Chain A
Amino acid sequence: MAINEYSGVVNAGDLPDKPAPMRTEGIVAWIRDNLFNGVFNSVLSLVALAFLLYTIPPALNWLVFSANWTGGADACRANPDAACWPFVTARWEQFLYGFYEKSERWRIDILLAILAFGIVWLAIEKMPLKKYMAIFMLVIFPVLAFYMMFGTESALKGIDSTLAAHAASGEFAPLDPLRKLLRIPFAAADLKTVETSQWGGFTLTLVIALSGIVASLPLGVLLALGRRSKMKIISLLSTIFIEFWRGIPLVAVLFMATIMFPLFLPKGVHFDQLLRAVIGVALFASAYMAEVVRGGLQAIDKGQYEGSMALGLPYTKMMRLIIMPQALKIVIPGIVNTFIGLFKDTTLVLIIALFDLLGIVQASIADPNWSIKSVPYTGYAFVAIVFWICCYAMAIYSRRIEEKLHTGHKR
């Protein structure tokens, strides 16, 4: 006889649990508790719901359901009231590489692969040799990337002409062996020059953003330390630098770099336009970074400074081992915030005629073969999606680092 079977008037075991009353559990209760728990909140919920219903279905409809996915310009022209994705598929190579020489685009492919590989390596927690990978990505990769993208042709020429000059004059140059050593990889690669004016698309966005990010953090740390320094001159200079760059808009910086700067140079000398923009962006971002880092430094308890001094640590060791690890950890959200801002600010280079992702999309819109009502909107929507993915990825990564480094300082 089974235990639960009814026998006479007494239950042999426990009755099975009954579901909780509708009022306290389940989706209905959740909605009641969270969306309609009062007159004011109910009204707000209804307004929000109405707004979502009013905007999301048409947007999805435009972007996905009635959009043109195949065909060419003619298909889009026939259906101009929905997104025109063939425009993106026809031009995605331009959006990625810009006007980079077609036969040399494999160089960018390799770099992007290394970049993706390195980022994934560093993002996965249990990967070995992370320290060396980080050094590779931060120090070696930028140099490699520069020579891969720009080509080794002109560097090789420079080395050869110096060597030849030394050989001709018989002058003793202690660096010549190093030069000969450096010549080997350059000669082996023998990559042809691709001028920076040909760089473009998403590649250029990455170049500007990554060089800005890589340069601005160390510069920002130095400036923050400088500003808090007890040495008056250093503190004053750091403050002036920070307040100068924070006080002018980035657009003005870029304009000055492109329009005013060439006027100061002697005639016949050109300073690469992309480099001007990158330096401007990096200095601009480092001023913001300095203030973020300074915020972290100020949050560190005085006892930490005194404790490390009591241990007899000199200034650099104190900063490197005690203060900075704590300060930087606190301000991770601020640092990533600055990075994300910097990443999006790179689109401003389009006003100085550098074709980043947004710039190349805008130039493509001008093609008369694609002059259809939906094409500009599709282009901008595509740019928005790409930027959102990149920025959200950074946000997720920062959240994970925060959690990993979390040692109870969070409240």
Chain B
Amino acid sequence: MQFLKTLGVTALFVASAGVAQAGETLDAVKAKGFVQCGVSQGLPGFSNPDDQGDWTGLDVDFCRAMAAAVLGDAEAVKFTPLSAKVRFTALTSGEVDVLSRNTTWTMSRDTDFGEFVGVNYYDGQGFMVPKSLGVASATELSGAAVCTNTGTTTELNVADYFRANKMDYTVVAFEKADEVVAAYDAGRCDVYTTDRSGLAAQRTKLSKPDDHVVLPEIISKEPLGPLVRHGDNEWGDIARWSLNCMINAEEMGVSSANVADMATSTNPAIKRLVGAEGDLGSKIGLDNAFCGNIIASVGNYAESYERNVGPDTPLKLERGVNALWSQGGVLYAAPMR
């Protein structure tokens, strides 16, 4: 019987892992030697497999940062691609340790599903129109046919926006993003609306990308951020300060190129950041150099941004609102001391 059980257990490949209690996730992660990270099933610039089959993107970089912080190795991470529907179940059931899947931080999600640890990209719904339409602002869109996805908040946001501005419009809605793009490209509608990062990604799929322009209006707030399970505050702190580490590093000018030299910096704040001074890491159960490890292997926030979604990538997204607070954006990480 025991033999059958052994066989059965392996044959059924039942695996068990710990679930939320203070400190438990950290111990489990250290024991198994990798971070299990929930990402999207493919969202350009945020999480998608590259030609070699390795996951890349802004959300993926956050997973790697956590692996670097906890285990000192940015490669010690396994990705679980999750659909929008199963993502929260996967987190609460303990299937993933952290969910970094372009998830909008809302109050109900924060209370129901997990603890958001910050924002790694400020998105918002925008509009794209052909240049030939001669429209400079979304307020001139009265009477337009609007292409969008069915059953998403984007559709509702458009309805609110047009009603609030007393404009008429017709909706041309499709199930999948590829269909929406095809319809817009074929001229079945005048306007294409979705999140601005999405607009940037879909724009490259048009026949003539340069003939289209994204309007300046942003009609919704979509702060995207990673989240962890409720109930394990230590693990939440690790996630929060991994993110803050990347933003603070950019602010202090510490990058993967110069982090090795920063241990001898004259600035005490930088020394604390990279772990040459103080005991910030040990407060959350990690090595004091956890932030230095993140910067060395993943880079600071600016490096990750430029690599995945910035102006030099096909997405060509300007920093805009995602710039540091000192440069006109809203990225403002709490100081590390």
Residues of A within 8 A of B (CB): 80-81, 90-91, 93-94, 99, 102, 146, 150, 154-155, 158-159, 162, 173, 175, 178-179, 195-198, 255, 258-259, 262-263, 267-273, 275, 350-353, 355, 359-360, 362-369, 371-373, 375-376
Contact = CB atoms under 8 A, between A and B. Distances in A.
Interface in B1-22: 2-3, 6-7, 9-19
B205 A364 contact: no
A360 B51 CA distance: 12
Given A353-B81, A371-B44, 17 more contacts: A94-B53, A99-B79, A154-B10, A154-B13, A175-B2, A197-B78, A259-B86, A262-B89, A262-B93, A263-B93, A270-B15, A275-B12, A360-B49, A363-B49, A368-B201, A368-B313, A369-B51
27 contacts: A99-B79, A102-B53, A150-B13, A154-B13, A158-B10, A162-B6, A178-B3, A262-B89, A267-B94, A268-B16, A270-B14, A270-B94, A271-B12, A275-B12, A363-B42, A363-B48, A364-B48, A366-B41, A366-B43, A367-B44, A367-B48, A367-B49, A368-B45, A372-B204, A373-B185, A373-B205, A376-B205
A368 B314 contact: yes
B207 interface: yes
B83 interface: yes
A375 B18 CA distance: 41
Interface residues of B, number: 50
Contact of B6 (A150, A159, A371, A376): A159
Contacts of B85: 255, 259, 351
B273 interface: no
B315 interface: yes
Contact of A262 (B2, B48, B95, B207): B95
A93 B86 contact: no
Contact of A158 (B9, B50, B185): B9
Contacts of A173: 2-3
A350 B51 CA distance: 20
Q: Which among B14, B51, B80, B86 has the highest number of chain A CB atoms within 10 Å?
A: B51
Contacts of B53: 91, 93-94, 99, 102
Contacts of A275: 12-13
B82 interface: yes
B49 A267 contact: no
Contacts of B309: 368
Interface in B113-146: none
A272 B15 contact: yes
Given A102-B53, A268-B94, A353-B83, A376 B201 contact: no
Given A272-B15, A367-B50, A368-B45, A373 B83 contact: no
B95 A175 contact: no
Contacts of A159: 6
Contact of A376 (B2, B93, B178): B178
A259 B89 contact: yes
Interface-central residue, A81, A258, A367, by most chain B CB under 10 Å: A367
Contacts, number: 142
Contacts of B15: 270, 272
B49 A371 contact: no
Interface in B61-104: 78-83, 85-86, 89, 93-95
B247 to A, nearest CB: 23
Contacts of B11: 146
Nearest to B3: A175
Which 5 residue pairs of A and B lie closest in terms of their CB atoms, listed nearest first? A366-B42, A363-B42, A366-B48, A158-B6, A368-B44
Nearest to A100: B53
B44 A258 contact: no
A372 B205 contact: yes
Contacts of B49: 94, 99, 360, 363-364, 367
Interface in B177-208: 178, 185, 201-202, 204-207
A271 B93 CA distance: 11
B48 A368 contact: yes
A106 B84 CA distance: 34
B87 to A, nearest CB: 9
Contact of A366 (B19, B44, B207): B44
Interface string B268-301: 0000000000000000000000000000000000
Contacts of B3: 162, 173, 175, 178-179
A353 B88 CA distance: 13
Contacts of B41: 350, 353, 355, 359, 362-363, 366
Contacts of B18: 268
A270 B10 contact: no
A353 B178 contact: no
Nearest to A146: B11
